[in-house]
Structure 1
C-alpha cells in the first residue's frame, strides 16, 4: 500500500475522517455526528471535546473497516467549520462551550467594534465586514459577559486549532482560518494590533498563525494512544472548509472560481492580490494556497429553495422517486428539463432567509413572479434552478467588476450531482462549469495540504494537479444566450422593485 494521509473534516454537524492516497483516491473513511446546543433561540454552541472524541472514533472506525496499518499514514491535517471559537486553559481544556459561527447573540458586540474601530479600517485590514458571523464579537461577548472565563483563557481557539492542539500539543492556527476572525491582517499574515488594541484583546490569547501546509509538530504520545496512529506522525496545518474545498476542486490559479451549493452557496475566486470592494459586497480572506487570497460571496438559501419545494410542493416527485428507488432531487431536476430556458417568464428570487451577497438585505424574502394560468409545477422547479443561478451570476459579475478573471467555475456540494442544474448554471453564467469526481472536496483539500507538508509533492498546485480528478466540463449553450441575458436583467429588476419591502413587519 502506498503512503497515505489522514484528513479530519470537522463540519458543523459532525466529523469525517478520510484517508487518501497520492492519486486522490479515498482508501478509508468514517463519519459521526455530534449535537449542537441551543441555550437560547438565537444561540448555538457545541462541546469542543466532542470534536476530539468523534475524531478518534471515526479514525478507529475507518482504519478497522479497511484494515489500515498506522505505518502507512505519513501525515495528518485538519479542515473545519470556520469562525467557531472556544476558550481553553493552559492545558488545552475548554473553559466553556464553543460559540458556533451560526450564533447571533453578538449584535451589541458588533456595534461596540464599530464604535472602537472604524468599519472602513476593519474592512481594509481584515477584508471582512463587521458581523456576528465572525470570531471577534464572540470573544468580546465572553469578555463582557463571562469576564472570569476571558481572564482564565490561555487561548481562544478555532475548531482547527483545537484539533491541532489535541493532536500535537501545539497552539497554532493557519492563515485561512485566522483571516475569518475579524482580527487578522490579511496582507501581513499576522494578528492586527490596530484591531486587537482598541478591542482590548491581548494577542497572546490567540494561537500562532502559520501557513497552510506547514508542519506544526508531531502526533503526541497521548494522541497516539487515543487515535491508534503512530507517535510522531507529522501534523500539518490545514485550513478553513471553504478554502480547502476550493483547493479540493483545483482552484489554485486566477480565473478559477469554486461554487459550493448545499443549503446555501459559497463562491470563492482565487486572487494573487488582496482585492477590496468599495461597496463591501464581497469579502477577502487568505487562501490555503501560499501567497494567495480568495474573494468570497455567501448566499443563504439556494439549495434550501429546492428543498422547500420538495417538502411543501414536491409530494408527486417524492412518490415517483420512491417507486423508482432514486433520490427525489433527481426526479425534481429532471422535471425542469420539460420547461424551456427562461421558464416561459416565471422568475424566482431564492431569498427565503434574507439576501446575502451582494445585496446584504435581511428583509428580503423568496418570491415567484410572472405566473400565468398556463404555468405548471415544472415551471416553478425550473424557475428555482434558474433563480439560484441568477443569484450566483450577480456575485460573479461583482467579482468581474473587481478585475477578477473568470474562465471556469468548479462546482461541489449536493447541487453538483445534477447535470441539469449545472448546465443551467453554465448557460446563465456564460462560463464553463466543471464537476469533479470527489464529492468530499473539503477533505481532499486538507489531504493535498498534508501531502505537501511532508514533501510528497513539490508544491500545492502540483499536488492539486495530481489529486483532483475532473468528471465533466459543461459549456454554455449558445441558443440560451438571449433568453438568459434578458431574464437575468428581469431578475435584477424584480429584486430592485421589492428590495425595500419589509415583509416581516406588522
Structure 2
C-alpha cells in the first residue's frame, strides 16, 4: 500500500492507494495559514499539522512507501536548527524579483527575500520547497524534486544561482521525481506515527504529478487541472512558440507540456459563494440552484478582469445587465459561464497552434461535480473524462512510488496501467448550440468591457 499526499493551496489531501491503483481510504484537511497556532510559520505550520492529521487517520503497518507532491514555485527558508525563518513565499504571491536571462521559477522569490529581508536571507541555511519541507521532516534529508535534467533549470542551476550572486551551499541537491529521497527516520516516525524505515519518494510539483495521474503522458491528451487556479495542459511532441501559452518540458522526457493558465477560476467561484452566503453549502447544492437558470440566458454577463488573450484572471471584474428580479442564482450562472468561456478560449488557443483538443481529462474536486462537468462539456464542445481517482496528484504520486518499488519499469508504464476513466460527459447538442452562439456574443462584448474596465482603473489612479 502507498500513502500518497498532495499539498495544495487551500487544502492538503492524502489517500491509501492499492497496488491496483484504487484509493480506498482518503482524508482532506483544509489549510488555515493565518491560524495563530503557527506564528511565523504560516502555511508551513498548516502543512505540518495537516500531514500529521492525515498520517494519523490513514496510518497502516503495511504502507510500503510514502510519496509527497505540492504546490510550487513556493520557497521555505530554514535556519541551521531547522526553524522557519520567514513565512513561505507562496507560488501565487507577488514576492518576485527576477533577472533577465534566467530560467528559475524559484530564485526570483529568494532574490526578493535577499533584497527585502536581508537578515533572513543571510540567516537561511537551506531553501526548501513545499513537498521537500515535509520530506525533510520525515527523513531528515534535504532535496528538491525535478521531472528530469531538462527541467532542472526551472528549479535552479548553478549558473543562475551565480547570476543572482547567491551561495550555492544554501540550495539542496536536485533529485528526479520518483527517486527515493530517504526513509522515515525515528524522529519522523515519532512526529507522524508512520513506521520508521518506510521509503519516502519524491513527487515534486503538483501539476507535473497530475499529468501522470490523469494519463496525460501521450501526445494529444489534455488535462484540465483545477483548484484555486486552473491549467489546461496539453501533451505535445513539439514546443509551441505562442507566448499566450506556456511550454515546459513534460514529465516524460522528450515531450512537452503546453499549458493555458487560468490563474484564478477557483478563487472566483469561492468569491461568488462567499458574497452570496454559501460558504457552508455543498458544491452540488450551489450548482443545482445555478442550473435552475436557463443556459446562455445572456444577462447578466460577468467579466472577471482586464487580462488580454483570455479572461483568465479575477481582478477588476464587473457584472453587466443586472436586473432587480435577478438573484444569486442568475449571478452564479454568469460567473460559471465566464469560467467556462475562459476554458473554451484556452481550447481555441491550442487549436490555433495545431494542438487539437477533443476531450479534457479533469482532476481535483471538479471531477466529483456532475453538474459542472456537464456545463463545461456543453460550453467547450469537448468530452469531459473523469478518472477513477479524481485527485490526480495522489494517483500520479502512487505511479511514481510503484515504479520506485519496482512494480513497474517506469512511471509511464504505471500510468498506462493504473489510470482508468470511470465517467465521460458528452456535450448536449442542444445546449452546445446555445453556448456556441452566446460565446461569440460574449467575446464581442468582452472587448468593450475591457476598455471600460481600463478607464475605471485609470480613474481610480487619479483619486
TM-score range, shorter chain: 0.7 to 0.9
Candidates 6, 17, 20, aligned match of 1:9? 6
Q: 1:302 matched to which residue of 2?
A: 265
1:450 aligned residue (401, 413, 420): 401
* 1:165 aligned partner: 136
2:154 paired with 1:201:
no
Q: Counterparts of 1:99-498 in structure 2 under 5 Å?
A: 99-104=89-94, 106=95, 109-110=96-97, 113=98, 116-117=99-100, 121-122=101-102, 125=103, 135-176=106-147, 186=151, 191-193=156-158, 195-277=160-242, 280-312=243-275, 329-343=283-297, 345-346=298-299, 348-351=301-304, 355=307, 358=310, 364-369=316-321, 379-498=330-449
What is the SS of the residue equivalent to 2:182? Answer: strand
- Provide TM-score, normalisation by structure 2: 0.84
| Contact residue 264 and residue 313 of structure 2 kept, 8 A | no
User: Matches of 1:425 and 1:419 in 2, distance apart?
Assistant: 10
Match of 1:22 in 2: 19
* Number of the residue aligned with 1:181: none
Alignment check: 8 A CA contact 1:212 1:289 kept:
no
Q: Distance in 1 between matches of 2:167 and 2:83?
A: 19
CA contact 2:311–2:342 (8 Å) conserved in 1 = no
Q: Secondary structure at the match of 1:186?
A: helix
Of the three residues 70, 77, 89, the one matched with 2:67 is 77
Q: How many residues align?
A: 454
Change (3 A) 1:361 1:454: closer
CA displacement, residues 379-435 of structure 1 (integer Å, 9 cap, x when unaligned): 544333322111111112222333334232012333443323222222222221112
Query: Is contact 1:234–1:454 with CA below 8 Å preserved after alignment?
Result: no
What is the CA-CA distance between 1:5 and the residue it aligns to? 0.9
RMSD: 3.5
* Distance of aligned partners of 1:308 and 1:459 in 2 relative to their CA distance in 1, 3 Å threshold: same
SS where residue 358 of structure 2 aligns?
strand
**1:82-134 deviation line (CA, Å, top 9, x unaligned):** 12211224564433332223433x3xx53xx3xx41xxx45xx45xxxxxxx5
**Larger deviation: 143-152 or 287-296?**
287-296
Structure 1 residue 212: Cα displacement? 1.2
Kindly tell me: are residues 189 and 148 of structure 1, through their superposed partners in 2, closer, same or farther at Cα, counting changes over 3 Å? closer
Q: Distance in 1 between matches of 2:379 and 2:43?
A: 42
CA offset digits 1:343-372 (Å, max 9, x no partner): 2x33633516x6487467776413244x67
Task: Give the Cα–Cα distance (whole angstroms) in 2 for the partners of residues 26 and 204 of structure 1.
Answer: 40
State the TM-score, normalizing by the size of structure 1: 0.77
Helix, strand or coil at the partner of 1:367? strand
Answer yes or no: is the 8 Å Cα contact 1:187–1:274 preserved in 2.
no
CA distance in 1, matches of 2:20, 2:241: 36
Return closer, same or farther for 1:55/1:374 CA change in 2, 3 Å cut-off: closer
Q: 1:215 to 1:313 in 2, by over 3 A?
A: closer
Q: After alignment, is 426-435 or 331-340 more displaced? A: 331-340
Contact kept in structure 1, 2:106 and 2:155, CA below 8 Å: no
Cα distance in 2, alignment partners of residues 93 and 376 from structure 1: 49
- List per-residue Cα deviations over 1:191-237 (Å, max 9, x = no partner): 34554333223444322222211222322333233333343322211
The 10-residue stretch of structure 1 (445-454 or 18-27) with the greater mean CA deviation from structure 2:
18-27
CA-to-partner distance for each residue in 1:474-500, whole Å, 9 max, x for gaps?
A: 122334454333322222222211213
Query: Aligned partners of 1:260, 1:377: CA distance in 2, in Å?
Result: 27
